[in-house]
């Protein structure tokens, strides 16, 4: 019950109140079922009588042991939750990125082409500027004339260089616009806002995790990373539940295994006497009912006879007078 009301200011009070009510209900039910097991019957009959209590004990043992298991393995559960939350955030980011790439695939491809063209132009401009300097200073190569001065060849190379620089400026402007557009789309799609949790955020998330998440994490503790069963953890968790189930079933088992005693004989005689008394009381009530019914019937018959006789005499007298 404390897990149910966890986070409320009166969680402890509610847990104590409902715990007392729950305990009293189970105590009285347990007392009634155990005491009502008839030792006069056969073993199979006694087991059938005790079966509702055994089923109830199993359910109670599971319900009571689970919060205790969650508390015992609290440290491991928190670590499992942190790992799960981090994986979930990774998956969320991957999904958003995939959606973003699919939605803006053409723009991203164009942006990549612009970057490649910019890099290529920058390298080409550096190479053309170097060749222009060689041409002006008269350095002879397979790309220059070897004539010193700003001549015809130098002017041609200068024009080509300026053309490439103009193209570079256009590409750079287009790339800037595309980067700005894609950045706005990232903000719109939530890609820039979504990030991985840090350690402090993971601690906070694991602290406020609800019963469902903690219960899931406890179940995951019984498996290894490769999906195989972690036998040690599984047995440790299971035997806590088995202990409570056994503890709940113990009164019934003791009652079933105990031999027939003086108390059982006394209860049997009292039950027999009560049954006999109930049968006799039923017979008495039936006889009283029959006698009362007969008396009522006779009275009604006499009354009806008198009414009919009186009416007949009245009619006869009136007819004689006429």
pLDDT digits (tens, 9 = 90+) for 248-265: 888 888 878 877 777 777
Query: What's the confidence (pLDDT) of residue 138?
Result: 66
Quote the percentage of the chain above a pLDDT of 70. Answer: 92
Query: What's the confidence (pLDDT) of residue 7?
Result: 64
Considering the chain, what is the average pLDDT of its residues? 83
289: confidence class by pLDDT, cuts 50, 70, 90: very high
As a whole number, mean pLDDT of residues 138-155 equals 67
Query: What's the confidence (pLDDT) of residue 144?
Result: 62
Q: Does 204 score more than 80 pLDDT?
A: yes
Q: Answer with the residue of higher pLDDT: 86 or 49.
A: 86
Query: What's the confidence (pLDDT) of residue 286?
Result: 92
Q: What is the 3-state secondary structure (H, E, C) of the chain?
A: CCCCCCCCCCHHHHHHHHHHHHHHHHHHHHHHHHHCCCCCCCHHHHHHHHHHHHHHHHHHHHHHHHHHHHHHCHHHHHHHHHHHHHHHHHHHHHHHHHHHHHHCHHHHHHHHHHHHHHHHHHHHHHHHHHHHHHHHHCCCECCECCCCCCCHHHHHHHHHHHHHHHHHHHHHHHHHHHHHHHHHHHHHHCCCCCCCCCHHHHHHHHHCCCHHHHHHHHHHCCECCCCCECHHHHHHHHHHHHHHHHHHHHHHHHHHHCCCCHHHHHHHHHHHHHHHHHHHHHHHHHHHHHHHHHHHHHHHHHHHHHHHHHHHHHHHHHHHHC
Q: Which of 33-42, 188-197, 275-284 has the highest mean pLDDT?
A: 275-284
As a whole number, mean pLDDT of residues 191-212 equals 81
Q: Which pTM was predicted? A: 0.57
As a whole number, mean pLDDT of residues 160-189 equals 87
202: confidence class by pLDDT, cuts 50, 70, 90: confident
């Amino acid at each position: 019950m404390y897990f149910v009301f966890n986070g409320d200011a009166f969680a402890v009070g509610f847990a104590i109140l409902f715990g007392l009510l729950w305990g009293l209900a189970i105590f009285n039910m347990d007392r009634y079922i155990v005491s009502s097991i008839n030792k006069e019957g056969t073993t199979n009959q006694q087991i059938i009588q005790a079966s509702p209590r055994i089923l109830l004990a199993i359910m109670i043992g599971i319900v009571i042991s689970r919060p205790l298991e969650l508390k015992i393995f609290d440290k491991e559960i928190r670590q499992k939750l942190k790992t799960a939350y981090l994986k979930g955030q990774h998956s969320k980011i991957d999904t958003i990125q995939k959606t973003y790439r699919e939605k803006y695939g053409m723009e991203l491809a164009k942006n990549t082409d612009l970057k490649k063209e910019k890099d290529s132009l920058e390298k080409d401009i550096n190479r053309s500027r170097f060749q222009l300097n060689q041409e002006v200073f008269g350095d002879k190569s397979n790309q220059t004339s070897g004539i010193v001065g700003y001549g015809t060849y130098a002017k041609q190379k200068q024009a080509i260089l300026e053309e490439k620089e103009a193209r570079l400026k256009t590409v750079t402007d287009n790339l800037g616009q595309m980067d700005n557009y894609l950045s706005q789309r990232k903000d719109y799609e939530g890609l820039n806002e979504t990030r991985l949790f840090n350690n402090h955020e993971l601690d906070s998330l694991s602290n406020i995790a609800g019963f469902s998440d903690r219960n899931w994490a406890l179940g995951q503790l019984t498996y290894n990373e490769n999906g195989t069963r972690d036998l040690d953890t599984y047995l440790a968790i299971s035997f806590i539940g088995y202990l409570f189930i056994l503890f709940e079933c113990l009164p019934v088992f003791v009652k079933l295994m105990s031999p027939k005693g003086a108390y059982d004989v006394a209860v049997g005689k009292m039950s027999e006497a009560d049954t006999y008394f109930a049968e006799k009381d039923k017979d008495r009530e039936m006889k009283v009912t029959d006698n009362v019914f007969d008396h009522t019937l006779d009275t009604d018959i006499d009354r009806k006879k008198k009414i009919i006789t009186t009416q007949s005499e009245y009619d006869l007298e009136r007819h004689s007078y006429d």
